[in-house]
């Protein structure tokens, strides 16, 4: 028997237990589901089409952007000493955010500077970015990007309105 196998099983078992509570915030959940799980958010503010929530659970800060009352962006950051997420933690969080599509799977994309990008194959535009230096993971959908672009366009039009 491979001596590394028991150690790998132990690592994955610990990660699974660690993320049981934290990783439950998933793309597609609504405000009531998030509040039922974490309680009232520490921060709750809205801008245009996006409602931003901030929760703290165990050793994690979880940021959620809602668009039309649906989680379209989730970011995970460790609170303790700002330790970066490990490769195993990132994989576990990505796997929890696949959704209900049984054909979907995360594909590693380009490594640009300190950011590793991922794309959810058959995931209708869902992507992720892992900042390897800061250690945070952000998962976002096409709907979130569209809402953000809409806000940016409106801001630009307001600033240039005098011209």
Sign for the pseudo-dihedral over CA of 128, 88, 61, 104: positive
Residue 144 has pLDDT above 90, yes or no: yes
Q: What is the reported pLDDT for 60?
A: 87
End-to-end Cα spacing for the chain = 74
- Helix and strand totals (H; E) in the chain: 4, 8
Residue with tokens 């535009």: 125
Q: What is the reported pLDDT for 27?
A: 86
d(CA 60, CA 86) in angstroms, rounded, equals 13
Query: pLDDT tens, 28-69?
Result: 899 999 999 878 999 999 988 899 999 998 888 999 999 999
Ramachandran area for residue 82 (φ above 0: left; ψ -120 to 50: alpha; else beta): left
pTM value? 0.77
* Residue ranges per structural domain of the chain: 4-159
Query: pLDDT tens, 65-85?
Result: 999 999 999 999 988 766 889
């Amino acid at each position: 028997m491979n001596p590394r196998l028991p150690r790998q099983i132990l690592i994955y078992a610990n990660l699974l237990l660690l993320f049981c509570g934290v990783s439950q915030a998933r793309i597609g959940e609504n405000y009531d589901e998030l509040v039922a799980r974490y309680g009232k958010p520490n921060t709750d503010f809205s801008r245009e089409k996006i409602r931003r929530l901030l929760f703290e659970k165990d050793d994690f800060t979880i940021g959620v952007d809602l668009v039309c009352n649906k989680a379209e962006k989730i970011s995970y950051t460790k609170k303790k000493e700002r330790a970066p997420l490990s490769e195993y933690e990132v994989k576990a969080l990505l796997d929890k955010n696949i959704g209900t599509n049984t054909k979907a799977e995360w594909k590693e994309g380009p490594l640009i500077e300190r950011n590793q990008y991922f794309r959810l194959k058959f995931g209708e535009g869902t992507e992720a970015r892992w900042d390897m230096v800061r250690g945070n993971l952000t998962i976002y959908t096409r709907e979130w990007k569209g809402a953000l672009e809409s806000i940016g366009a409106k801001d630009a039009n307001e600033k240039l309105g005098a011209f």
